[in-house]
A and B are shown apart, each in its own frame.
Chain A
Amino acid sequence: MSRTVLVFTEQKDGRLRHVTYESLTAACRVAEGGEVVAVLFGSRQSEQVEEVGKYGASRVYVVSHDDLHQYTPDAYKQAMLQIIGEVDPDAIIMGHTAIGKDVAPRVAARLGLGLITDCTDVCTDSGEVIGVRPIYAGKAFQKKKFIGKKSFVTIRANNIELQENAQTPAVIPFDVTIKDVRSVVRKVIRRSASGVDLSEANVIVSGGRGVKSAEGFRPLQELADVLGGAVGASRGACDAGYCDYALQIGQTGKVVTPELYIACGISGAIQHLAGMSRSKIVVAINKDPEAPIFQVADYGIVGDLFQVVPKLTEAFKRALEEK
């Protein structure tokens, strides 16, 4: 059964986010020979049109409106509803991002649609669209399907392997009408840290109680900077006041799935494991060879993180320069 699949893309700092490519890859699968339609919010950028074409979009709606520069649920909802009305897709896909998770439920509610959020995989089986999603913070998984013809999913970043499917998309400028925006963003304070989001970072260097102080996070930040990653922390480190709770990874903090997770001085309490054990590769550095973190690690170094981490930073620097 071929489908028309609508993908809402997302940009950050003028670049398409990785999850957008994942959404397009998933869309091609779900389309089953049908058409993938992408929506670009913001100014017309030929480079971006080309990018979404590379991953399978054959039509691109370019939507430009002053009220869409900064996300608000009211403005985005209205724009999305108008495009959905225009395209009449069989399936809608977007990233489970700060925007996607915030607006998708509103749009779904308005249209009376089912929505499967936070999918780590999207596939089809016997003519049905199926979303695979972690539940209980990744301790288990759930397969869900839709009742009714239309499907709507949001997908979690860094889970779907990208697949190119080059198209030369038709570009369609599309005007939307936006009125009565009831919530207004007055100010945006960018996160002060080096700017890589924990939830979207490819690499996370994370510290636990073993880091011993706020100052002790510095070598971790240096390693993260070299790898273009972000710094995270265990609950132990947050509770001890070494860092902000915003960095907490675990059952009650953020759940992350980076490609590389480097746990420094983290013992690996079950609470923490729930937040990071789905990382593709886990490296553990800990003085205690019995620390449970080693049981989920792909590579372990038994040793003092204050010796190991700086050496690792230097070695990566050299390796990446050679590349």
Chain B
Amino acid sequence: MKIWVCIKQTFDTEEKIVIENGKVDEKDAEFIINPYDEYAIEEALQLRDELGGEVTVITVGPDRAENALRTALAMGADKAALIQDPSLVGDECVLARMLAEAIRREGFDLILGGNFAVDSGSGQVAIRLAEELDIPHIGSVTGLNVNGRQAIAKRDAEGDTEAVESTLPVLITAQQGLNEPRYPSLPGIMRAKRKPLERLSAQDLGLSDSLKTKTLIIEEYLPPEKEAGKILEGDLDQQVQELVEALCGKGLSFN
């Protein structure tokens, strides 16, 4: 089995957001693997251990993204590839095309990615990638079995669970609950140093001319701070009454 995992290095979710010149400032941020991508990595490793084959992790990003790949290698992935985005402003359309080209060249049976990235929250790249490669996808997966050339997945559809079947090759996006990602063990970290990590440019992929972004970020900003609320006073019955009256007066729609 040739298993690919598309990952993204994102802000640590604990980080405070600072805006500088209409952009989120990444200067002093700590970076991690997007948590949803960790589920994808874990699932890939489990499937490889069960079915054999190899796991390649791939990302598009700046030099620092190599750390995310090394972490995935330390978790147990076999190989890694880092695509350097020449423009650094490419949108999901551009990213998906680069990934598609890199993956197509090597061949694939199964591709995994996170449901979405916690920074941009767009949730597009993996699914676009499936379309670029003209393979089916199953999104937001919380359970996965692979039997021969068939994948059986549990898909989370806003709380309902759909049992979905598809043939390989297929792309899966991982939702929380799929598994419990392992930590990179210390011996794993030491082994990761010696595993292959390939760097690719858009030129290497023969794509430099056809990569045109379709959307542009105009600006990024912080939400307005909420005004201080009101702690209700009086005895409990009074407080409850006051609250219910206040809420009913707000025109909320209770069904």
Q: List the interface of chain A (C-beta within 8 A of B).
A: 71-74, 77, 97-99, 101-102, 104-106, 108-110, 112-118, 130, 133-148, 182-191, 193, 197-200, 202-203, 226-229, 245-246, 248, 251-253, 259-260, 270-271, 274, 277-278, 281-284, 289, 294-303, 307-308, 311-312, 315-316, 319-320, 323
Contact = CB atoms under 8 A, between A and B. Distances in A.
Interface residues of B, number: 79
Contacts of B226: 277, 296, 298
Interface stretch (B62-70, B101-109, B136-144): B136-144
B232 A301 contact: yes
Contacts of A303: 236, 239
A252 B244 contact: no
Chain A interface, DSSP helix/strand/loop, else mixed: mixed
Interface of B: 11, 13-14, 17, 19, 24, 35, 91-93, 96, 118-125, 127-128, 130-132, 135-140, 156-167, 170, 176-177, 212-223, 226, 228-232, 236-237, 239-241, 243-248, 250, 252-255
A205 to B, nearest CB: 12
Given A102-B140, A142-B217, A281 B158 contact: no
A246 B124 contact: no
A134 B159 contact: no
Grouping DSSP codes into helix (H, G, I), strand (E, B) and loop, the B interface class, with mixed when no group exceeds half, is: mixed
A185 B176 contact: no
A134 B121 contact: yes
A188 B161 contact: yes
A252 B158 CA distance: 16
A303 to B, nearest CB: 6
Contacts of A106: 127-128, 130-131, 137
Given A199-B158, A319-B244, A105 B254 contact: no
A283 B19 contact: no
A148 B92 CA distance: 15
A-B CB proximity, top 3 nearest: A114-B214, A228-B255, A109-B131
A113 B131 contact: no
A229 to B, nearest CB: 8
A319 B124 contact: no
